[in-house]
Structure 1
Amino acid sequence: MIELRPFDSLGGANHGWLDAKHHFSFAGYHDPARVHWGNLRVWNDDTIAPGTGFPPHPHRDMEIITYVREGAITHQDNLGNKGRTEAGDVQVMSAGTGITHSEYNREDVTTQIFQIWIIPTRDGEAPSWGSRPFPKGERSGQFVTLASGYGNDNDALPIRTDARVVAATLKAGETAEYPIGKDRKAYLVPATGAIQIDDVRANARDGVAIQDLDVIRVTAIEDSEIVLVDAA
């Protein structure tokens, strides 16, 4: 099954400094058909104005992955972690037993991020934060694992859940495959470009919910940057 969720169908709100689109029910947006996809709970498409951001606020019991599409985001938390994650890079915050953090766009340009929340399968652990670059050249023509709950994904940022976050950059006409298995669910969003899976076309920022496929074959119609969550 491949279900297209067009960008124009997403929930959300424009707060002026923040233009947020929600692939799943979040904050004031609730759609009983879009509460979660397996253990994937949130996929927000956030556009943050220069010099603004999210002031300190708490989280617990959630794996929060931030994929920076444009600009940069600066994180600071009550554990003493502070870091700047720029376009193409990824940060992971395991909220664990509780963490308070802020995220600001300290840049002179607009920042665009995907923020992805996955329900943990391990709890009761101390919170943590990490960030690392993922050069787009390394994922040219293939899926590369950015964050993973599995110990054999050595180069990925660790998350405490039965899931992976992967990404690929494809030139127009290129195809990449991701073996997922029919017992798993996938949610895919092209950050840029346009792609096709079987007979379904997805444009930039559309969501694609996938289940009951052994292998996901993605063909780029235009040069595309793709992010995918492999969920339990």
Structure 2
Amino acid sequence: MLKKIDSSKMGSSDHGWLRSKFHFSFAEYYNPQNMHFGKLRVLNDDLIDAQTGFEMHHHQDMEIISYVVGGELTHGDSMGNKSTLTRGHVQYVSAGTGVYHSEHNRGSNTARFLQIWILPNQENLKPNYGEYRFNWDDRKNKWLHMVSSTNGSAPIKINQDSNIYSLELAESKEIGFPVKSGRQAYLVQIEGTSNINGIELNDRDALEILEEDITIKSSKKSHILIIEMKKPNQD
């Protein structure tokens, strides 16, 4: 089963320095019918002006993944970590028992990143931080497996049965992605236009996928992210 999520119908906010699209209920956007997709609790598509950002704030019991689409994202946290990531790079915070962190755009251009929160498989874990500077070419016309569970094979491992992949698909190219029985996936058309099993997605649209293999054909060069996971109540 497939369900298109049109970006124009998503929640949104504009704080001047920060402009966001909310895939699920978050902050001032609240929709009790749109709280999560399986263990995926938050997916915010954020635009942050230069020399602004989120000051130090607290999180607990959440797996937080940031995927940088453009510009610079500088992270700092109460564990002593500090680094700046750019396009195609990923950072991960396992908030566990509690962690404070900040995210700033110290660059000269607007930054864009996807803020992803996934519920962990258990509470009160020890906080942890990780990052990976993926080579952009490693996702050209092929799936780049960036995040997996602790039992998986991706460079970044989180405390949940979830996988995150990215892709840049050249115009008119095709690629498949399997979503097996007992699994589901959430696809974000970050940039470009594509046709997926007869459904057209444009910039910032999304697609819910339940136990159905998909074929993606790029109408315009496409930058795509997929979060694949176990369906709820599947052991």
TM class by shorter chain equals over 0.9
1:176 pairs with 2:193: no
Structure 1 residues 198-209: aligned runs within 5 Å: 198-209=197-208
Aligned counterpart in structure 2 of residue 220 of structure 1, from 193, 203, 218: 218
Q: Distance in 2 between matches of 1:128 and 1:86?
A: 21
Given that residues 56 and 102 in structure 2 are in contact (C-alpha distance below 8 angstroms), is that contact kept between their aligned partners in structure 1?
yes
Q: Distance in 2 between matches of 1:104 and 1:39?
A: 27
Q: Distance in 1 between matches of 2:96 and 2:174?
A: 37
1:113 is paired with a residue of what secondary structure?
A: strand
Q: Distance in 2 between matches of 1:188 and 1:87?
A: 19
Q: Distance in 1 between matches of 2:120 and 2:183?
A: 16
Q: Distance in 2 between matches of 1:126 and 1:149?
A: 16
Report what 1:25 is aligned to: 25
Q: Distance in 2 between matches of 1:135 and 1:205?
A: 23
1:221 is paired with a residue of what secondary structure?
A: strand
Shift of residue 222, structure 1, vs aligned partner: 0.8
Report what 2:133 is aligned to: 133
Structure 1 residues 1-232: aligned runs within 5 Å: 1-153=1-153, 155-213=154-212, 215-232=213-230
Q: Distance in 2 between matches of 1:36 and 1:98?
A: 22
Given that residues 97 and 124 in structure 2 are in contact (C-alpha distance below 8 angstroms), is that contact kept between their aligned partners in structure 1?
yes
Given that residues 179 and 210 in structure 2 are in contact (C-alpha distance below 8 angstroms), is that contact kept between their aligned partners in structure 1?
no
Q: Distance in 2 between matches of 1:111 and 1:197?
A: 28
Q: Distance in 1 between matches of 2:194 and 2:32?
A: 27
Q: Distance in 2 between matches of 1:3 and 1:123?
A: 31
Q: Distance in 2 between matches of 1:138 and 1:25?
A: 33
Q: Structure 1 runs of 4+ off > 2 angstroms?
A: none
Q: Distance in 2 between matches of 1:101 and 1:190?
A: 28
Shift of residue 150, structure 1, vs aligned partner: 4.3
- Give per-residue Cα distances to partners, 1:17-50, cap 9 Å, x unaligned: 1001100011111122211111001110000000
Which range moves more in the overlay, 215-224 or 80-89? 215-224
TM-score by length of 2: 0.95
Amino acid at match of 2:3: E
Amino acid at match of 1:26: F
Shift of residue 209, structure 1, vs aligned partner: 0.9
Given that residues 37 and 231 in structure 1 are in contact (C-alpha distance below 8 angstroms), is that contact kept between their aligned partners in structure 2?
no
Amino acid at match of 1:177: G
- Give per-residue Cα distances to partners, 1:140-181, cap 9 Å, x unaligned: 11111111114331x421111110111111001112222221
2:220 is paired with a residue of what secondary structure?
A: coil
Q: Distance in 2 between matches of 1:86 and 1:103?
A: 13
Q: Give the number of equivalent residue pairs.
A: 230
Give ranges in structure 2 of 5+ residues lacking alignment: 231-235
Q: Distance in 2 between matches of 1:25 and 1:124?
A: 24
The sequence identity of aligned pairs, in percent, is 37
Q: Distance in 2 between matches of 1:32 and 1:209?
A: 17
Q: Distance in 2 between matches of 1:146 and 1:113?
A: 15
